[in-house]
Amino acid sequence: MTSFPQGFLWGGATAANQIEGAYNEGGKGLSIQDVMPGGAIKPSTQGPTDDNLKLKAIDFYNNYVEDIALFAEMGFKTFRFSIAWSRIFPNGDEQEPNEEGLAFYDRVLDELEKHGIEPLVTLSHYETPLGLARQYGGWRSRELIDFFAHYARTVFNRYKGRIRYWLTFNEINAVLAMPFTAGGIEVPRSELSESELYQAVHHELVASALATKIAHEIDPQNQIGCMIIAVPRYGITPDPRDQLTAQQKSHEDYAFGDIHVRGEYPGYLLREFREKGITIDITDEDREILKNTVDFVSFSYYMSVCEAHDPENYTTGGGNIIGGVVNPTLEASEWGWQVDPIGLRIVLNNYWERWQKPLFIVENGLGAKDVLIDGPSGPTVNDDYRIKYLNDHLVQVGEAIEDGVELLGYTTWGPIDLVSASTAQMSKRYGFIYVDRNDDGSGTLKRYKKKSFDWYREVIATNGESLEA
Ligand code: BG6
């Protein structure tokens, strides 16, 4: 395949809470992840507990030099990571930032610059400071908009000229399904009204637009993207009612891109608010702020689902928290995520046609159980299944570029094994680099190259020509 443009940003993506560890070092405060030992859908604990793998994660905090060198060996052009908000503002509401936290990311940037790797940085990746969750009720509180803006301004100023590509909120559409993980709201989903959820989402949307405004004021070179979960929804049959259900479910994702790109709430969402009696407080000032639209649209892509107007007649649960009904034409991963490379081409075309903004695939990959074996030059993993998954998706990315889609880059999720967000397991691995750590917390934390390491290096070196259609 030769369709990938020159300068295409190949790389990998991570999040602070899933790699850094050092949860209480360097002046860091607690984040919501430090009290979530069981993953995104399990209840939280009062404080950090020993069974929480994220407290140590893969200790990127102390291994970043070695890890970035391995990314450079694969030829990464970009590396996506998040800044842990509670490293910079330990409780979230301070005026003065924590210098030690800022200095850590300076050192990470030094390493990336040494290797010519472009940083791609998420401001908030499922790691709201716990203080903001417990003292303010998380994103239900309007006060978080100003705390977030202060945090964003602090890091935009500090890293001016060093970081050009920024993402505001990871998977911002996840608040509706996972209020604690994505919104710092420690109330079970079932006890929250739709109005409360949408109010929290609204605060994040305003905060995102405000950060975009500040970023552009501080440095017009800054490129700001929104970040959404992309899940194509197919009608399970040609029955127009199934197709309509699929379209309406798609609006749950589209709404977030529409607001970020067009600067206002779409009509279909306002209709839903009216019909369901959802009332949220949107001020005139909010409306003005929302007009600060993004420079590009980024998204994660793992799976597709089907939708039916009569889901009770089908097997449901094909897409984990996403819901939907199972697509009988697709295989699923060990965690039930339906593998659909062509769906990625569909998403890319749909998004490009809808928004005409450059796109960035900032997560894609296969979570799988790996077995470490002895190889000619040390322990390794024969992860042909991962190579196949990534190859097949990238072939479809190439097709979409041929279709005319403008795509800035592609970062695989978890280029180095990390702690899973949904299940908090180590054994759900995505990496090209194996990390010796187990679900019970045992392991040496040593890094080993998997077979896919050399495969990805070749893909990058040939700018996609080595992919097999
Ligand atoms: C995305 C998140 O939803 O999917 C990541 O942005 C997460 O944080 C990734 O890790 C894969 O999900 P999981 O549950 O397999 O870790």
> Residue ranges per domain, the chain?
9-461
Query: How many CA atoms, within 13 angstroms, populate the side-chain half-sphere of residue 3?
Result: 19
| Angstrom distance (rounded) from CA 315 to CA 328 | 10
Residue 2 pLDDT class (50, 70, 90 cuts): low
Cβ pair 324, 298 in contact under 8 A: no
| Ligand 1 mean position, distance from CA 151 (Å) | 24
Buried b (16+ CB within 10 A) or exposed e, 249-278: bbbbbbbbbbbbbebebeeebeebbeeeeb
Is 61 a pocket residue for ligand 1 (Cβ < 6 Å)? Answer: no
Residue nearest atom 15 in ligand 1 by C-alpha distance = 420
pLDDT tens-place string over residues 286-302: 999 999 999 999 999 99
Residue in 111, 196, 204, 363 annotated catalytic: 363
pLDDT score of 211 more than 70 = yes
CA-174 nearest atom, ligand 1? 3
pLDDT digits (tens, 9 = 90+) for 212-246: 999 999 999 999 999 999 999 999 999 999 999 99
What contacts 214, CB < 8 A, 6 or more positions away? 149, 152, 153, 156
Q: Which two tokens stand for residue 272?
A: 């839903």
Distance CA 281, CA 283 (A): 6
Cα end-to-end distance, the chain, whole Å: 8
Confidence of residue 160 (pLDDT cuts 50, 70, 90): very high
354 pLDDT exceeds 90? Answer: yes
Burial state string for 2-40 with b = 16 or more CB within 10 A and e = fewer than 16: ebbeeebbbbbbbbbbbbbbbbeebbbbbbbbbbbbbbb
CB 35 within 8 A of CB 44: yes
Locate 448 and state its tokens. Answer: 């080993």
Of all protein residues, whose CA lies closest to atom 5 belonging to ligand 1?
421
191 exposure class (CB count in 10 Å sphere: 0-12, 13-18, 19+): exposed
**Is ligand 1 within 6 A of the CB of residue 122?**
no
Question: Is 113 marked active-site?
Answer: no
Q: Is the C-beta atom of 422 inside 6 A of ligand 1? A: yes
- The pLDDT value recorded for residue 43 is 87
Task: Specify the pLDDT at position 42.
Answer: 86
Contact between 83 and 116 under an 8 Å Cβ cutoff? The reply is: no
Judge if the beta carbon of residue 421 lies within 6 A of ligand 1.
Answer: yes
Q: Which residue has tokens 């990311």?
A: 105
Strand bridging mode 165-169 / 223-230: parallel
pLDDT for residue 319 is more than 80:
no
Q: Compute the CA torsion angle 175, 178, 183, 186 (nearest 10 deg).
A: 150
For the ranges 174-188, 307-321, 433-447, the lowest mean pLDDT is seen at 307-321
Q: Report the nearest atom of ligand 1 relative to the CA of 419.
A: 16
Do 392 and 384 meet the contact criterion of CB atoms below 8 Å apart? no
Instruction: Kindly report the CATH class assigned to 9-461.
Output: alpha beta
Residue by residue, DSSP assigns 223-254 as EEEEEEEE--EEESSS-HHHHHHHHHHHHHHH
Q: Given a cut of 80, is residue 306 above it in pLDDT?
A: yes
* CA neighbor of 370 nearest in space, from 417, 415, 319, 414: 417
